[in-house]
Amino acid sequence: MEKLSLFERVSLANQFRIRAKLEGDDHLSKFADILERGYVSLYPRVFEWIYDETPDAVGEEVQDIFTMYRALERAYEAGATPAAEAFHPRFDGFDGNHDPHFGIASFLIDDLNLWSEQKDRPRNSHSMATIGTYREMLKVWNDLGRPFPLTQDQVNQIAVGPSKK
C-alpha cells in the first residue's frame, strides 16, 4: 500500500469518524485511528472493502453479452429454437470465483435493474469456460452486424458458434 498525503489521511479519517457516529459502528472509528496515527502497514485493513477497478472493456463486454442474450431470448419467444449443438442457448452466468465479469454483471442486474430478464437466471457458472463461449458467440453476433431481431438462421449461427461449425 502506498503512503497517503496528510490531507488524504485527515479527510478520510474525518469521513470515517462521521460515518462511525451516523452508523453507530465503532469499527469505522478504528479505521480513523489507523489513518490519524499513520499506521501504513494497517492501511490495507482500512481499504479491504474496496474492490479492484474493473476495466472498461469488461463492463462493455458484459453489456454486449447481455444484449446478445436479449436478442436470443426475443427470438426464442418468437418461435426460434436453438440448434441441438448450441453452446449456451440461455445465459449460464460467469465464474464467480475467477471472472471479473461476475461482479459487474450482478451490479447491472441487481443494483441498476438493467437486463431484468437475467434476474432469475444463474449468475455463477462455476466454470472459467463460459466467458470463452460467450466471446465466440459474441464474435458471430458482431460479424452478423448485431441483428435484432434474429432470424432462425442467425440464432443457429450464434448459438453454435464458429468453433462448432
Q: What global pTM score does this model have?
A: 0.78
Q: Which amino acid is at 15?
A: Q
Asked if 77 and 163 count as a contact pair (C-beta separation under 8 A), the reply is no
pLDDT(139) > 60: yes
pLDDT at site 37? 95
What is the tens place of the pLDDT at every residue in 9-40?
A: 999 999 999 999 999 988 899 999 999 999 99
pLDDT(164) > 80: no
Asked if 158 and 150 count as a contact pair (C-beta separation under 8 A), the reply is yes
pLDDT at site 162? 62
pLDDT(60) > 70: yes
Q: Which three cell numbers stand for residue 136?
A: 465466440
What is the tens place of the pLDDT at every residue in 79-104?
A: 988 877 777 788 899 999 999 999 99
Mean residue pLDDT across the chain:
91
How many Å apart are CA 99 and CA 84, to the nearest integer? Answer: 27
User: What is the Cβ-side half-sphere exposure of residue 8, based on CA atoms within 13 angstroms?
Assistant: 7
Calculate Rg over the CA atoms of the chain: 22
pLDDT(129) > 80: yes
SS3 for 113? Answer: coil
